[in-house]
Chain A
Amino acid sequence: MESFSLILAIVVVTALAFDFTNGFHDTANAMATTISTGALKPKIAVAMSAVLNLVGAFLSVEVANTISKGLVDETGIRPEVIFAALVGAILWNLLTWLIGLPSSSSHALMGGLIGATVASAGVDAVHGDVFVTNILIPAIAAPVVAGIAALLATRLSYSLGSLGKKADGKAAAKGYRAGQIASAGLVSLAHGTNDAQKTMGIITLALVAGDAIAPGSNPPTWVILSAGVAIALGTYLGGWRIIRTMGKGLTDLQPQQGFAAQTSAATVILASSHIGFSLSTTHSVSGAVMGAGLGRKGGVVRWSTATRMFVAWGLTLPAAALVGAVAEWVTGFGNWGTALVAVFLVASSAAIWRRSRHEVVDHTNVNDTSVSDTTQEPPGVVTTAIAAVTPPPAGTVTDELSATLPAPAPASEPAPSQATL
């Protein structure tokens, strides 16, 4: 690899860190319903999802190519821009994980990329029509479609049950268990092909921007390999906070509903990616879970949790874009600016991680319901989100660093955060 500069190495490492956060952020998509209905033990579920994510990463490079070859004008992009974009995306992912909300990792990534690109090259460098048709529309459509499909499927499943075709007893429990595992497996596999590829696309874009490979190239093998491994590791770690929200927080799922939700999500994800949309797995699964919740007679959707989730979705893109733009602006000061952003990223990741230790959620208490809904007030969460994710526009850049850290984490500390791998 000739001309593999330091900044390029930093970008690659950061991209893999993002991939890792993406993995543990999105474990919930595949496994939340499976875990909450008890079809699989939590640890086994995340292990299975991790393996399938890894396998999925090797299956195709289609999505990677739409990222590295379409969304932004690659001629005007420097590696620093991509670095800044990743900073925005990682921080948003960690923050939403901290408050246990499922949000789209892809939107975080796109937002970061758009913000950094605009800060660097102006509004014209973002292809607006690609943005609307490939991101915005599917983002709204995915949960609606998945929700309606899951709702109808759940209804049907219950009414078939009441028409005398009784589905109960051991055989039924076993059947729904197998069905859930199969559809969760499909979602994991699809997630690997979709999301691991997003990182591949980003690394490829950085390599193109840093003149390490020719424009229009496919991702090199080592990129595919490392992206697959990073996302699998993240998945195995398990974003238990988000799994709890999705599996228990939004609604209470019975095995039949879990099966309907997961099948609907898998179908929507596959159908839309086959037709060429870049779509959020998170949005489809959340929509499907809510649809399944509404489909059962007497089923409830906890709208306060759902509303918080919608707010997080709406904020994802602009918040990541803002951080991306500010980070890009700081890197513009030269090497020390880039270093500063890197330190800021590590320090805030460490702070968020430390914060999460106050109330640990892991495979042992992921199905506890008592904590999920009452501990956090909606406005509080949103305000914290905004406050913590937005670096204040401080006069000098050194001030910004010390002013933004929510916990006393000195910048000089090595900060062995899980997110920086």
Chain B
Amino acid sequence: MKIDWAALGSVFGVSLVVTVALVALFTLGVAGLSRRERALAQGDSAALAVTGAYACFTACAAAVGYGIYLIMA
């Protein structure tokens, strides 16, 4: 009986890194949008925060797209 520790390890590593990265990105994105919300409430704009937020969301969307690609493959 041969247990494929390498595969198991890579599942572990990949899952950990991807999950943490995605959640971090998404949290930053949400934080950016919140900042805009607050800025708008005070009459400012927060262009940098919004751009950053959308960059984060784009990266997340790309990850979801890759996920769908993996499901289909």
Write the residues of chain A forming the contact surface with B, with a CB cutoff of 8 angstroms: 56, 59-60, 128-129, 132-133, 137-138, 141, 145-146, 148-150, 152-154, 156-157, 160-161, 165-172, 174-176, 179, 182-183, 186, 189-190, 193, 256, 259-260, 263-264, 266-268, 270-277
Number of chain B residues close to chain A: CB under 8 A:
38
- In this assembly, does B28 line the interface, its C-beta being within 8 Å of a C-beta of chain A? yes
With A145-B15, A165-B28 known, 17 other A-B pairs at CB within 8 A are A129-B2, A141-B11, A145-B12, A152-B16, A157-B27, A169-B34, A172-B33, A175-B30, A179-B30, A186-B64, A186-B67, A259-B26, A263-B19, A268-B19, A270-B70, A273-B70, A275-B10
Q: Is the CB of A167 within 8 A of B27?
A: yes
- Tell me if A's interface is mostly helix, strand, loop or mixed: helix
Q: List 12 A-B contacts (CB under 8 A).
A: A60-B72, A128-B1, A149-B19, A154-B23, A157-B27, A169-B38, A175-B26, A179-B60, A260-B19, A264-B23, A271-B14, A274-B70
With contact pairs A263-B22, A266-B67, A271-B14 given, residues A129 and B34 touching in the complex (Cβ less than 8 Å): no
- In this assembly, does B8 line the interface, its C-beta being within 8 Å of a C-beta of chain A? yes
Chain B contacts for A154, CB-based, 8 A = 23
Complex alpha-carbon distance, A49 and B60, angstroms: 21
Chain B contacts for A193, CB-based, 8 A = 71
Complex alpha-carbon distance, A175 and B36, angstroms: 13
With contact pairs A169-B38, A268-B11 given, residues A156 and B31 touching in the complex (Cβ less than 8 Å): no
- In this assembly, does B47 line the interface, its C-beta being within 8 Å of a C-beta of chain A? no
Q: Is the CB of A156 within 8 A of B34?
A: no
- Residue among B4, B11, B14, B18 facing the most chain A CB atoms (10 A cut-off): B11
In angstroms, how far is the closest chain A Cβ from the Cβ of B31?
A: 4
In angstroms, how far is the closest chain B Cβ from the Cβ of A19?
A: 19
> Contact partner of A132 among B3, B27, B73, CB < 8 A?
B3
Q: Is the CB of B16 within 8 A of A175?
A: no
Write the residues of chain B forming the contact surface with A, with a CB cutoff of 8 angstroms: 1-4, 7-8, 10-12, 14-16, 18-20, 22-24, 26-31, 33-38, 60, 64, 67-68, 70-73
Q: Is the CB of A149 within 8 A of B20?
A: yes
Q: Is the CB of A60 within 8 A of B73?
A: yes
In angstroms, how far is the closest chain B Cβ from the Cβ of A153?
A: 4
With contact pairs A59-B71, A169-B37, A175-B33 given, residues A160 and B28 touching in the complex (Cβ less than 8 Å): yes
In angstroms, how far is the closest chain A Cβ from the Cβ of B39?
A: 11
Complex alpha-carbon distance, A274 and B10, angstroms: 11
Q: Is the CB of A141 within 8 A of B12?
A: yes
> Contact partner of B30 among A132, A167, A263, A264, CB < 8 A?
A167
Complex alpha-carbon distance, A266 and B38, angstroms: 32
Q: Is the CB of A171 within 8 A of B36?
A: yes
- Residue among B20, B34, B60, B68 facing the most chain A CB atoms (10 A cut-off): B20
In angstroms, how far is the closest chain B Cβ from the Cβ of A194?
A: 9
Q: Is the CB of A153 within 8 A of B23?
A: yes
In angstroms, how far is the closest chain B Cβ from the Cβ of A134?
A: 10
In angstroms, how far is the closest chain A Cβ from the Cβ of B30?
A: 4
Chain A contacts for B11, CB-based, 8 A = 141, 145, 268, 271-272, 275, 277
Chain B contacts for A179, CB-based, 8 A = 26, 30, 60
Smallest CB-CB separation from B23: which chain A residue?
A153
Complex alpha-carbon distance, A98 and B1, angstroms: 37
The 8 closest A-B pairs by CB, nearest first: A153-B23, A175-B30, A165-B31, A171-B33, A149-B19, A264-B19, A171-B37, A129-B1
